[in-house]
Amino acid sequence: MDAISQLLCDVLDEVRPDASGAVADYIPQLASADPDRLGLAIIGPRAGISAVGDADAAFTIQSISKAMVFALAVDRWGPDAVMQKVDVEPSGEPFNAISLEKGTGRPANPLINAGALAVTSLIPGADIVERSATILAGFSAFAGRDLAVDEDVYRSESATGDRNRALGHLLRSYGIFTDEVDDVVETYFRQCSALVTVQDLCVMAGTLAFGGRNPLTGERVVSERSARDTVAVMSSCGMYDNSGEWLLRVGLPAKSGVAGGLIAISPSQFGVGVFSPRLNARGNTVRGQMVLEKLSERFGMHVFEAHEAVATPEVAIREDGDELRVILGGELSFSGVERVLTRLRDIDLPGRSIVIDAGGLAQVHPMAIDVLRRQVSDSDRRVRVEG
Ligand code: GLN
């Protein structure tokens, strides 16, 4: 077993004895889930999936689907159009609350049921079948393999879905959508019933973590902007009425589902999927949360942790007679400019022309080159940017 998998196994072993919480019991398929199942998978930018525990156990994606459908809607329509139908404010309320804006009926955010229904209504399709097919195709692109719907779970969700149906009617009464309520609500039940494993979940999370590109297949699934917006909403609203404390303590944008699945993201670093069916009172997986807390702690993954070397450009300086060539690689951020200037400080600049060779940069932040150019410019020096 490779070192990463070994480490993940250790984390699972630590949380395994905890038997607190209870499996969801609003439908028989979830009530009969094996409560001891525990699986974990992680994907980084290069080495593929590391998966341990019950890594092949299939379960329904449930509310984790809300993040992906939001990403698909933003990708299709842009953030402003989507935000006309749904706000992005943490509701501080349970997942199935009637959190609608006074007057407009706009749901508080896309990751509670009311908001998810509004977002599902934005997915194009003439009927339930077409819309569901578009969503499932989107999920499959996120996961990097063809996913299927658990028809039994779907039927149960539909048979017991009066509260969601009621939310649908409320939304329609406010004009949030004009479709038949069933077209939207049944599509939502189908999206919740997609079957996944933790391996699928980590690739889906990874696709969001790596700017909308699937780290397994290399396919662009959604735009960079859509991925960023989705991760932003996950960080403020992904854990329902526990989102604030989660962000403070764990600091990994995440989204949970009632079957016991949980995804989390470290931007540009990894996507993770975890599965453990016992839930706490807020409907989040107990051991799944513990696993992420431990990973965040051990890897220093809190999003707001300060990093010495974040976006550090590589700098090579070549002196060629009167010309000074500053060859940059990696990522030049706003703070990275400082590093380049520090390197230049010990070099005698007067009278020389400077070439900033930016061709090797993987990522340049707006303004960084401009700031650099201004810093090294003076009245009699020529500064040229290449690449
Ligand atoms: N299908 C469930 C519902 O809408 C999903 C909820 C969840 O995962 N929290 O009630």
Long-range Cβ contact pairs of 102-105 (< 8 A, separation 24 or more): 104/174, 105/170, 105/171, 105/173, 105/174, 105/175, 105/176
- Residue range 71-92: mean pLDDT, rounded: 96
User: Would the CB of 161 count as within 6 Å of ligand 1?
Assistant: no
Cα-Cα-Cα-Cα dihedral of 206, 207, 211, 212, to 10°? -170
Architecture of domain 314-386: 2-Layer Sandwich (3.30)
pLDDT in tens, 192-207: 999 999 999 999 999 9
> Using CB atoms within 10 A of its CB, is residue 9 exposed (0-12), middle (13-18) or buried (19+)?
middle
Per the prediction, the chain carries an average pLDDT of 93
% the chain with pLDDT above 70: 98
Q: 138, 76 in Cβ contact below 8 A?
A: no
Segments of the chain assigned to CATH 3.40.710.10:
3-299
Decide whether any atom of ligand 1 lies within 6 Å of the 110 Cβ.
Answer: no
pLDDT, average across residues 303-316: 82
Q: How does residue 9 score in pLDDT terms, banded at 50, 70 and 90?
A: very high
- Contact in structure between 285 and 256 (CB atoms under 8 Å): yes
- pLDDT, residue 248, reads 95
Ligand 1 test: best mutation among 258, 263, 285, most atoms within 8 Å of CB?
258
pLDDT digits (tens, 9 = 90+) for 18-30: 999 999 999 999 9
Position 35 scores a pLDDT of 98
Model pLDDT, residue 196: 98
Residue 308: pLDDT over 80: no
Query: Is the CB of 285 inside a 6 Å radius of any atom of ligand 1?
Result: no
Active site residue 99: no
**How far apart are the C-alpha atoms of 339 and 64, rounded to whole Å?**
40
Residue with CA at minimum distance from ligand 1 atom 2: 62
233 closest CA partner among 105, 60, 43, 73: 73
pLDDT at 31 over 90: yes
Q: Which of 11, 15, 66, 286 is catalytic?
A: 66
Please report the pLDDT score of residue 18 as a whole number.
Answer: 98
Kindly state if the Cβ of 64 falls inside 6 Å of ligand 1.
no
**Which comes out higher in pLDDT, residue 312 or 134?**
134
202-211, 216-225, 297-306: the lowest-pLDDT one: 297-306
Task: Tell me the average pLDDT across 277-297.
Answer: 95
Catalytic annotation on 258? yes
pLDDT by residue (tens digit) across 147-176?
A: 999 999 999 999 999 999 999 999 999 999
pLDDT value for 379: 63
pLDDT at 380: 66
Contact 164 CB / ligand 1 (< 6 Å): yes
Name the closest-CA residue to atom 9, ligand 1. Answer: 258
Give pLDDT tens digits for 239-257.
Answer: 988 999 999 999 999 999 9
Q: From the CB of 63, is ligand 1 less than 6 Å away?
A: yes
Whether residue 378 has pLDDT greater than 80: no
Fold of 3-299: Beta-lactamase (3.40.710)
Q: Where in the chain is the domain with CATH 3.30.750.24?
A: 314-386
* Structure tokens given for 41: 């998978």
Task: Please tell me which residue in 231, 240, 272, 276 is annotated as part of the active site.
Answer: 240
Q: What is the pLDDT of residues 84-127, one digit of tens each?
A: 999 999 988 888 888 889 999 999 999 999 999 999 999 999 99
Mean pLDDT, residues 124-139: 97
Q: What's the confidence (pLDDT) of residue 34?
A: 97
pLDDT tens-digit profile of 324-351? Answer: 899 999 888 878 888 888 888 777 777 7
Three-state helix/strand/coil letters over the chain: CCHHHHHHHHHHHHHCCCCCCECCCCCHHHHCCCCCCCEEEEECCCCCEEEEECCCCCEECCCHHHHHHHHHHHHHHCHHHHHCCCCCCCCCCCCCCCCECCCCCCECCCCCHHHHHHHHCCCCCCCHHHHHHHHHHHHHHHHCCCCCECHHHHHHHHHCCHHHHHHHHHHHHCCCCCCCHHHHHHHHHHHHCEEECHHHHHHHHHHHHCCCECCCCCCECCCHHHHHHHHHHHHHHCCHHHHHHHHHHCCCCEEECCCCEEEEEECCCEEEEEECCCECCCCCEHHHHHHHHHHHHHHCCCCCCCCCCCCCEEEEEEEECCEEEEEEEEEECCCHHHHHHHHHHCCCCCCCEEEEEEEEEEEECCCHHHHHHHHHCCCCCCEEEEC
Residue-level length of the chain: 387
What is the structure's pLDDT at 136?
Answer: 98
